Structure 1
């Protein structure tokens, strides 16, 4: 427990307490990344790296590739080489910082892993002590209070509290028990704090949840996303275009009798190609996954984070997402002339074997009204709830059948036994539904006794969040097992665009497929085994950490806090990732305008086009150096923006485009003019050119 708390605190404070160490490691890593194999992954920066090598050669031999420029070509070429070198280093530094933040989280997670002894149950019932690395999927193990759970699995016997703070950051132990979609899954590396459990292992060594978390946050399995690949191709094409243009300049310079040195041509090429976004592109992608991790969500790939930014439809369960979660029994409503005590007695009997929060609240309310169990529960048979029957209850030894469930399901149960239905039931049903509650009917054999009012409470602020989604063009669909009247009340109060009432697991998949058939990208949350097919079908599936192993494996994101509303936050992060990438790309390309007006007049100053020197730069050498220095320094200057992302605003695509063009397009044109001029003044003052 103490170790988990310490790790949680360390992970929480790592970004502030260890920034100095992170930056120093990232700077060292930036030089390691200069290896050609690494540089080839980024075509833009690889070209800058090649240019650095060439200018280094002409620093040693100024006339190696043609005539030199300036009075001191070695000094001038050497300065260009140094600036280009640090341009590459700064780009690597941005990527190394983003990776370093993920590795810091991976180190904290790795500290929770250790080879522990496991008590493996053999077929003959005996217990064999083995190392956790010897466990395989399907093995059964026994853990007792104080033990570290050696592998991912599902509880099959026992009820116990488990400390999951090492991975979730929450210190409160979580109750684990078999047969529950939200409380049967356990994670290797967590600690059992009370009682004992028998667990079925669900993951082979090295394939557990924490192993996958370490691999993902560390970036070992990161691959470029489709949008990132597309942007990389665009940058490569732009680079090739500028390369062709620069290649024609020597011919032009000979024709106009104004020779240009190879170092100046390389300087012009580097200044014009989109080095800013080229140097920050990888860091933006890694930082996007890091921001998701800071929300205690583990994404299986950068692709899933990126897709969140393009989501058109959110499919959300009502309970726990739109409402506060556990519905509580608020009131018993009598029908057919039965007394309140009789309804409470039947409701209590129907919920004896119901271990859900709703079932427990029914028992509590019934006992508060004086109801008591008047039969031997050991001789009775519990009937579990199923999505097909939409009922649960109990069969007593004397043949009496007691059921509770959806009103229409109970009606069908009573009709099948030739029971009579009265208008009172429909009146109670409508009363509860209009209040936004969930009505459950209770019956004994062919006689309906009354209706249970389960109260739902809309989460504060959820309507405003759905309004934000709507402004971004995202459709929200609520799924609920409630009747249509109740669902419509909740949907209207919450502000969702559409709802599916009396939804079954099959309905979830059908809704997703229908939306996808219209060309839309769909995201949804789930935690149960019956959610797994829908999670796999959705473009973005977010599984709850408290859910089953099947749900976690089907999803492409896992929420460690098991908070279904995180889906809205994840969509926001995805949007922020795309906005940041687009804004910095706009800024990078807009920068070229100012650098063009700085270097082109400098190159052809000898042929009388000095009138183009609208910035009034001191000399051709100063113009080239000023533009290159700005080009290098703007990369580290934008690292904080690339890592934290541009502040998200719920705007439409057209509004975002207009905002980006105005702020980052216009700003990208103006900022270099000011910065290059200031650098020129400084260079002239110190006598570098």
Structure 2
């Protein structure tokens, strides 16, 4: 909490926001917020009363009017300050990114292996760059060699470094981050002007925050309330004359300002702007604030299996011998066939062999490498007169049979058992003998089951789509705990599923990373593409997860719900305030002519003048006091809608009624002392 406040209220941001809040007094800018526009018009009216008192026939008090004017002016400035501070956080981020982009250089690796120093802006997709300790990553890319600790604070705001390495889920790097140890070679994956840095700068500099349907609806409600209270206050003047009460214009203005929803009107933009900022801290690029808020209303989440629920790369999970072969023989043959295999499968076999503590002596020798081909469906090594092979079970069986070997009796049964578990059996042979199988498993990403359970507790349905056969799909679905799954899905099937859920009146979020996911990502209400995925998937989505972590869907939904709850809570608080302010101002206006209204003065305020001023001052001060809540957001606890409604109604509804009674009374006592 203290860290968050320190980030929000640092001196540079405060100074910038203070300047901007005066610039925002421009009526042309203010007209975009009808509530504040009415407030500014009322303030100008009081200023006219002060400057040209002779034009107003009613009796005026110059000192009283002047105090009212300055309170109203500060109310507008506080409201502008909230929006300016929220915008300032984004602008400060953008400024730092712009500076970073301007000074970026790159060490491009030439075809002959030499290094050429060039401007980062001159890099094109496919270029290989060398980055070492202390260097700033010149653009978005994928590590093709090496491992390094990366400081991503320039992008995410988080100071903790992350480990990035080649041929792993954490192989993607983002332009603008800093290498703090070791070295890496990175292949550029973004065209000039299309990197994360460029998109972040465009997002902030664009200054056009797309409003969600919820925000538009709330804006409409605020306008309607403002018009209603404006009509009420305007008709109050002739009614007061009718009963013999001469109301001052400044008092009527004070009543109007206290009744219209100035609190939520002043904080509404700040709440929306801060949503994008919070998503960015999770290393997610949101292309619009509308997508962030829509995530809060999601009913169904559709997840692509490969690359989203699972790593998408088959990893060696187990060695299984056949026909009485020795485990040491199988592991040695598997190691030899994987020595020159640059795929993740080959690397995982070598990693698994370490667990058996069997390191083949043959690994020290060079042999004839037999690369994998789609036609042969196997690869291997000819070494010292021996022929080592690994590949599809059917391909290895044919290879061994052609050389006079015999198919082990338990091979097919063990192979089928692996397939039924959703894995891939890889047969390993030496000469004309099949030694066993390597169980390749599409490993489920850690934490996915717990995250899906949390979504279920929030009342959100999860659906898995996969191109796998129904048996494999059912196994994965049961392991991760999705509510429903669809097997053997084609691209048209995925978009059909999205549309089917939307036809039921549901809002749908879709995660994916492949070309075949792009149509469904574009159709979904919230499309989240993995940064490690294809360009088509990222272009079709409205959010990009830079860490390619599908479990972040829960974080995105939580932030969306937090944004909605924050807006609802402050709206409830703002409207509830009006009830209390009514008991401060109405008695002050009429008790002189109608003593029986003194019964409404339940706060026992000192005088009519102090009652009006106290209500106005409270109305002004509550806005800056709520700025941290608007920017940080109300804490979201995964629970049902009814419980959330009751909790917020109790805290912000009842609290919104009681707080002004306390605040106005304290201000009245302070004014009395002065």
Q: Same fold (TM over 0.5)?
A: yes
2:582 equivalent to 1:596? yes
Is the 1:383–1:395 Cα contact (8 Å) retained in structure 2?
Answer: no
CA offset at residue 606 of structure 1? 3.3
Indicate whether 1:635 and 2:623 are aligned: yes
Cα contact 1:602–1:621 (8 A) shared by 2: yes
State whether residues 415 and 425 of structure 2, in contact with CA within 8 Å, keep that contact through their aligned partners in structure 1. no
Pick aligned residue for 1:100 from 78, 88, 107: 88
Residue 165 of structure 1: how far off its partner (Å): 3.2
1:82 Cα deviation (Å)? 0.9
Q: TM-score, normalised by structure 1?
A: 0.80
Q: Tell me, in whole angstroms, the C-alpha distance in 2 between the residues paired with 1:18 and 1:26.
A: 10
Q: 1:200 to 1:454 in 2, by over 3 A?
A: closer
CA 566–189 in structure 1, closer or farther in 2 if over 3 Å, else same: closer
Aligned partner of 1:114 in structure 2 is 102
Q: Which of 523, 543, 553 does residue 567 from structure 1 map onto?
A: 553
State the distance in 2 between where 1:631 and 1:413 align. 84
Counterparts in 2 of 1:158-197, with a 5 A limit? 159=145, 165-166=151-152, 167=155, 171=161, 174-175=164-165, 183=171, 187=175
- Contact 1:56/1:81, CA 8 A, preserved across alignment: yes
Matches within 5 A, 1:165-564: 165-166=151-152, 167=155, 171=161, 174-175=164-165, 183=171, 187=175, 202-205=190-193, 207-217=194-204, 220-316=207-303, 328-335=315-322, 340=327, 344=331, 347=334, 355-365=342-352, 380-383=370-373, 393-394=378-379, 404=391, 425-426=412-413, 429-430=416-417, 438-442=423-427, 450-454=436-440, 463-479=449-465, 488=474, 491-500=477-486, 508-564=494-550
Within 2, Cα distance between the matches of 1:645 and 1:626?
28
Query: 2:308, 2:513 within 8 Å by CA — same for their partners in 1?
Result: no
1:53 and 2:44 correspond: yes
Q: Given that residues 350 and 404 in structure 1 are in contact (C-alpha distance below 8 angstroms), is that contact kept between their aligned partners in structure 2?
A: no
- Is residue 322–residue 408 contact of structure 2 (8 Å, CA) maintained in 1? no
2:16 corresponds to 1:25: yes
Residue 61 of structure 1 deviates from its aligned partner by 3.6
Work out the CA distance in 2 between the residues paired with 1:313 and 1:68. 63
Cα deviation code 1:167-225 (max 9, x no counterpart)? 46665664458xx99757874777799889695674234x4321111233567343333
**Equivalent of 1:44, from 21, 35, 38?**
35
Q: CA deviation at 1:287?
A: 1.2
| C-alpha distance 369-536 of structure 1, shift in aligned 2 (>3 A) | farther
How far has the Cα of 1:466 moved from its partner?
Answer: 3.1
Deviation at 1:500, TM superposition (A): 4.2
1:658 counterpart (646, 653, 671): 646
SS of the residue corresponding to residue 31 of structure 1 reads helix
* Contact in 2 for aligned 1:308/1:570 (Cα 8 Å): yes
Query: Can you list the C-alpha shifts for 1:307-353, whole angstroms capped at 9, x where unaligned?
Result: 11011122345677667897652322234676656755775577567
Distance 2:397 2:105 in 1: 54
Contact 1:348/1:366 (<8 A) preserved = yes
Going from structure 1 to structure 2, the CA distance change for 1:468 and 1:240 (only over 3 Å counts) comes to same
Structure-1 separation of matches of 2:370 and 2:315: 25
Contact 1:353 1:382 in 2 (8 A): no
Q: How big is each residue's C-alpha offset from its partner over 1:550-608, in whole Å with a ceiling of 9 and x where there is no partner?
A: 44333322333343322211111111000100111111111111112222222222331
Q: After the TM superposition, which of the residue ranges 20-29 and 545-554 deviates more from structure 2? A: 545-554
Q: Secondary structure at the match of 2:278?
A: helix
| Structure 1 CA distance for aligned equivalents of residues 447 and 131 of structure 2 | 40
Q: Secondary structure at the match of 1:383?
A: coil
Aligned-partner Cα distance in 1 for 2:635–2:115: 56
- Measure how far apart 1:374 and its partner are: 13
Give the gaps of 5 or more residues in structure 1. Answer: 1-11
Is 1:34 paired with 2:25? yes
Does the CA-based 8 Å contact 1:292-1:570 persist in structure 2? yes
Query: Residue 611 of structure 1 is aligned with which of 592, 595, 599?
Result: 599
Give the conservation status (yes or no) of the 8 Å contact 1:527–1:547.
yes
CA shift for structure 1 position 49: 0.6
Between 504-513 and 547-556, the greater mean CA deviation after superposition: 504-513
Task: Please give the per-residue CA displacement for 1:520-554, whole angstroms capped at 9, x wherever unaligned.
Answer: 22224344555444433433233344445444333
1:257-298 C-alpha deviation (Å, 9 max, x unpaired): 212222121111111111110000011111111111222222
Q: How many equivalent pairs are there? A: 653
> Partner of 2:63 in structure 1?
75
Distance 2:603 2:395 in 1: 80
- Cα deviation, 1:96-131, whole Å, max 9, x if unaligned, reads 1111222232233233212566789999x9999875
TM-score normalised by structure 2 residue count: 0.81
Cα deviations across residues 607-661 of structure 1 (Å, max 9, x unaligned)?
A: 3133332322222222211111111111111111111111111122222222222
Aligned equivalents of 1:131, 1:40: Cα separation in 2: 44
CA contact (8 A) 2:163 2:170 kept: no
- Tell whether 2:573 aligns with 1:582: no
Asked if the contact 1:118–1:141 (Cα under 8 Å) also holds between the matched residues in 2, the reply is no
- CA offset at residue 85 of structure 1? 0.5
C-alpha distance 670-119 of structure 1, shift in aligned 2 (>3 A):
closer
- 1: CA distance, partners of 2:533 / 2:584: 60
Structure 2 counterpart of 1:88: 76
SS in 1 for 2:55: coil
**629, 642, 645: which one pairs with 2:633?**
645
SS of the aligned residue for 2:463 comes to: strand
Question: Residues 521 and 440 from structure 1, CA distance in 2 versus in 1: closer, same or farther, beyond 3 angstroms?
Answer: farther
Distance (Å, rounded) in 2 between the aligned partners of 1:279 and 1:350? 67
1:669 is displaced (CA, Å) by: 1.4
Match of 1:6 in 2: none
